[in-house]
Structure 1
Amino acid sequence: MACLFLKRLALQTAKTEGTCIRCFGKYLIQNTALTQLSLVASTPRLCSLIHAKTFSTVEDPERERTKEKAFGSIGRKIHERIIHVIDEKGNDLGNMHRADVIRLLNERDLKLVKRNMGTQPPEYQLMTGIQIQEERLRLREMEKAKPKTGATLTKELTFSSNIGQHDLDTKTKQIQQWIEKKYKVQITIKKAKKAEEPENKMEETCNQLLQALPGIATFASRPQPVKGGSAVMCVLRPLSKKEEKAYRDTQGIQTEDPLNKDHGKDHKADVLHQ
């Protein structure tokens, strides 16, 4: 009897110890997993901060100042030993040692600017402060005068065919402003509902708009039916420089001939009068 009791006690103790060990092991596993998750969760935030800083769209002020000084005096820092020099009047001084160039800068109170770094030796020019400022302004104006590359933008305009003349004149002015800014203008004229009008009224309105813009616009796409014939669409575009010149030449001939005729008549009249 005593042996049976001791056996049961030993089994109960073993079960209790096993349960405690399992609970402790489970606790360790959970804590380890939570620690790893917190580390993994914090890592993307750090990466995102680094990524945001790297691809920031804010320009570096130092970089902006460098852009502004793209053309200007380099001071006395001449890296090349021998350079080709042009003076402030455009005279070619030939190749000179940098020590001689620095001495010339000090004697004439001039500044040195880069001209052509692709030659051997590189080419520099002596300039006054006023000359540098004028050159900067000239380069800025040249940059503004360059044609803007890219696709031509298109403006859209839609109205009914029974539009009043006043409203049509207003839209014509708007089209003219867009054309002068080198936009294309897509015009859609819808057929008026419950209104008796000629079948070609919408096409005539397109032609009327073009005739109101002589010498600045032409059809990029002529009037054509759309939406099952319930509307007409056309596209106006600015004239090219060649087309503008041809138009001016044509107008000059047309305005010149009557003057010549009148002048000839006056001349004949003067002869007869004499």
Structure 2
Amino acid sequence: MAALFLKRLILQTVKTETNCFGRCFGKHIVQKTAPAPLSIIASAPRLSFLTHAKFYSTVEDSQDERKKKQKTETAFSNTGRKISERIIRVIDEHGNDLGSMHRANVIKLLDARDLRLVKRSSSSEPPEYQLMTGLQIHEERLRLREREKAKPKTGPTQIKELTFSSNIGQHDLDTKSKQIQKWIEKKYRVQITIKKGKYVEEPENKMEELFNQILQTMPGMATFSTRPQAIKGGKATMCVLRHLSKKEEDEYRETQGTQKGDVLTKENGNENDRNSVVLQP
């Protein structure tokens, strides 16, 4: 009887522990695996596609480095003691070829003569450098700057347009002529269109005279790029003015100088004739 009671007590204890363990472990599993409650306000999606990302490109990077290197090499400046090559060819400040030298010897020469070193050519083998004074570098920079300014600009020529009637007043014509002159000074081409005045009898050459009158306000500066020609069935006349080229400006100055010389010669001749008449007994 006691053994039976003990057996039942053991079974009851095991059953109670099993149930307790199951409840506790099961609750833990439910808490871990249960989905989170949905929020009433949904969070806005992240706009990741708006983030700027630079793609890595070996070709692009190498081209940029090459451009920077070329720009650095072509710049006319003092290299100082930073000589990247071990052996270089050296030209002295007087233009004499000193031959190939080690960079250590070149630095010693710089210190001894108090000179600067400028790279002349990086494509030759070995690279060519020149010893120069500070004044020589300054003069060379000025010369290169003037040469750069003298190069013709490759950009497209801008065209300004101006339209007015043939019965324009003299004051308005003078104002428009000044505006045209400002454009010409800036090397613009100016397209001028003159319309025939309505209900006004005009001579046939009236518009051509207006073009010539405008051109005469800019002597030695402008000329016709396109001569006056009738457009719109003869209801208007159009021309294009442009700035004189360098050669045309020189020819104009020579012509003006020749004309002045002829006038002076003629005046001197007349003066001599008058004097000769006075001196006769």
Return the TM-score normalized by structure 1: 0.69
Which amino acid in the other structure matches residue 114 of structure 1? Answer: K
Separation of aligned partners in 2, 1:151 and 1:81: 46
Is residue 75 of structure 2 the alignment partner of residue 70 of structure 1?
yes
- Does residue 1:86 correspond to 2:91, yes or no? yes
**One-letter amino acid of the structure 1 residue matched with residue 127 of structure 2:** P
> SS of 1:93's equivalent?
strand
2:156 to 143, 151, 155: 151
1:237 to 239, 242, 247: 242
**Residue 139 in structure 1 maps to residue 144 in structure 2:** yes
Unaligned runs of 5+ in 2: 1-44
Q: Tell me which residue corresponds to 1:107.
A: 112
Kept in 1: contact 2:220–2:249 (CA 8 A): yes
Structure 1 residues 179 and 93: alpha-carbon distance in aligned structure 2, compared to 1, 3 A threshold: same
Task: Select 1:216's aligned residue among 205, 213, 221.
Answer: 221
2:254 equivalent to 1:249:
yes
Q: Secondary structure at the match of 2:53?
A: helix
Which is greater in Rg?
A: 2
- The separation in 2 between residues aligned to 1:91 and 1:183, in whole angstroms, is 47
Letter in 2 for 1:75: G
Cα deviation, 1:174-227, whole Å, max 9, x if unaligned, reads 112211222111001122233333343222212221233222222111222222
User: Post-superposition shift, 1:84?
Assistant: 1.9
Q: 1:264 aligns with which of 261, 264, 269?
A: 269
Tell me which of 174, 181, 186 is aligned to 2:179.
174
* Counterpart residue number, 1:50: 53
- Give the TM-score normalised by structure 2: 0.68
Distance 1:126 1:152 in 2: 42
The Cα offsets for residues 244-269 of structure 1, whole Å up to 9 and x where unpaired, read as: 23322322222222321222333345
User: 1:53 Cα deviation (Å)?
Assistant: 11
Indicate if the aligned counterparts of 2:73 and 2:119 stay in contact, CA closer than 8 A.
no
Contact 2:73–2:122, Cα closer than 8 Å, also in 1:
no
Does 1:194 pair with 2:179? no
Per-residue Cα deviation, 1:156-184 (whole angstroms, up to 9, x for no partner) = 11111111111111111111221122211
User: What is the CA–CA distance in structure 1 between the aligned matches of 2:242 and 2:55, rounded to whole Å?
Assistant: 43
Structure 1 gap segments, 5+ residues each:
1-37
For the residue of structure 2 that corresponds to 1:135, the secondary structure is helix
Question: What is the alpha-carbon distance in structure 2 between the residues aligned to residue 247 and residue 135 of structure 1?
Answer: 33
Secondary structure at 1:242's aligned position in 2? helix
Q: RMSD across aligned C-alpha pairs, in angstroms?
A: 3.4
Give deviations 1:74-99, integer Å, cap 9, x for gaps. 23232333322122344432332222
SS in 1 for 2:191: strand
Q: Deviations over 1:82-126 (max 9, x none)?
A: 322122344432332222111112223332110122333321112
Q: CA offset at residue 68 of structure 1?
A: 11
Structure 1 Cα separation of the partners of residues 138 and 213 of structure 2 = 50
Q: Pick one of 181, 184, 189 that aligns with 2:189.
A: 184
Task: Give the C-alpha shift of residue 130 in structure 1.
Answer: 4.4
Q: Give the aligned residue type for 1:161.
A: S
Q: CA deviation at 1:271?
A: 5.0
Partner residue in 1 for 2:123: 118
Normalized per residue, the structure richer in helix is: 1
> Partners in 1 of 2:120 and 2:142 — Cα distance?
16
1:260–1:133: structure 2 CA closer, same or farther, 3 Å change rule? closer
| Partner AA of 1:86 in structure 2 | I
